[in-house]
């Protein structure tokens, strides 16, 4: 049986999960990690002050809208027609359809690029290389590219077929080989999701009638406590490297000055 293309995979996932297709299908896990991701992005990506940002793999617009609220002028791009149809309109947000490797947007037109757990789902290595090359083309010199992905220190075991797992060093190499330098990083997820999701599963088993479309309200305090632990660990030097989900922020090299520019008074 021929495996689905990336486009077919995302369209089918959207049919099954709607707007949640771009994140975790389990609402409890999505609610848990969303706070951690948001804190990392706010801290390391920061405010836009009118600068232009490409949200590569924007899904139904979650991060596009949040970044526009933080002062960025955002172009959200996604491979899925279905997900884009669910993306709300918002000031300073424009949506375009297309895979990252096939986007035909002007060269050096963005001050920053953000990709949240998107590149790890480009399973073909040549398509991955083409996607990263295209992001670099669309990013201006000295621009910022931020990728939030599964990036453990070492990859152990197998992963689902819809995902290509890369270690932290492999992610760094993918961008440093294209003239970028690692400017900042932080772990996002550490240990808190383990006890929280165990409690969620036990709650659902003991009370099968509980609404699975919302996180169990009885566990809100536990979730906040576990999130607090992960948020604290993210700021501890050394410990932050142990997170398996990671935000890596790179800076593209500035344009090399021409000999005339270098010698001009």
Give the pLDDT score at 129: 97
Q: What is the number of structural domains in the chain?
A: 1
Residue 213 lies in a domain: no
Residue 263 lies in a domain: no
Give the pLDDT score at 54: 98
CB 264 within 8 A of CB 155: no
Place of tokens 């424009």: 94
Residue 10 lies in a domain: yes
Residue range(s) defining the domain that contains residue 91: 6-189+237-252
Q: What is the pLDDT of residues 149-174, one digit of tens each?
A: 999 999 988 888 888 999 999 999 99
| Cα distance between the two ends of the chain | 66
Residue 143 lies in a domain: yes
In the predicted model, residues of the chain with pLDDT beneath 70 are: 1, 256-265
Give the pLDDT score at 257: 46
Residue 196 lies in a domain: no
Q: Give the integer Cα–Cα distance in Å for 188 and 39.
A: 9
pTM higher than the cut 0.95? no
Give the pLDDT score at 158: 83
Q: What is the pLDDT of residues 75-88, one digit of tens each?
A: 999 999 999 999 99
Residue 204 lies in a domain: no
Residue 61 lies in a domain: yes
Residue 104 lies in a domain: yes
CATH code of residue 109 = 3.40.50.150
């Amino acid at each position: 049986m021929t495996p689905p293309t990336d486009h077919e995979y995302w369209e089918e996932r959207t049919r099954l999960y709607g707007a949640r297709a771009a994140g975790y299908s389990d609402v409890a896990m999505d609610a848990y990690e969303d706070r951690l991701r948001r804190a990392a992005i706010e801290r390391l990506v920061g405010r836009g002050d009118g600068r232009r940002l490409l949200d590569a793999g924007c899904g139904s617009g979650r991060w596009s809208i949040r970044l526009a609220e933080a002062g960025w002028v955002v172009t959200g791009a996604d491979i899925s027609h279905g997900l884009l149809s669910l993306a709300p309109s918002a000031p300073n947000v424009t949506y375009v359809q297309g895979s990252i490797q096939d986007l035909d947007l002007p060269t050096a037109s963005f001050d920053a690029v953000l990709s949240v757990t998107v590149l790890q789902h480009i399973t073909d290595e040549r398509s991955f290389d083409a996607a990263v090359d295209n992001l670099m083309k669309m990013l201006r010199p000295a621009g910022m590219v931020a990728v939030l992905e599964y990036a453990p220190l070492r990859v152990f075991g197998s992963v689902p077929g819809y995902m290509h797992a890369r270690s932290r060093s492999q992610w760094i190499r993918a961008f440093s080989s294209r003239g970028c330098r690692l400017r900042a990083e932080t772990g996002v997820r550490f240990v808190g999701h383990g006890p929280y999701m165990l409690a969620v599963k036990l709650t659902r088993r003991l009370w099968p009638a509980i609404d699975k479309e919302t996180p169990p309200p009885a566990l809100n305090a536990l979730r906040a406590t576990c999130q607090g632990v992960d948020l604290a660990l993210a700021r501890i030097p050394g410990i932050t490297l142990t997170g398996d989900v990671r935000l890596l922020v790179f800076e593209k090299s500035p344009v090399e000055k021409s000999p005339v520019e270098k010698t001009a008074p």
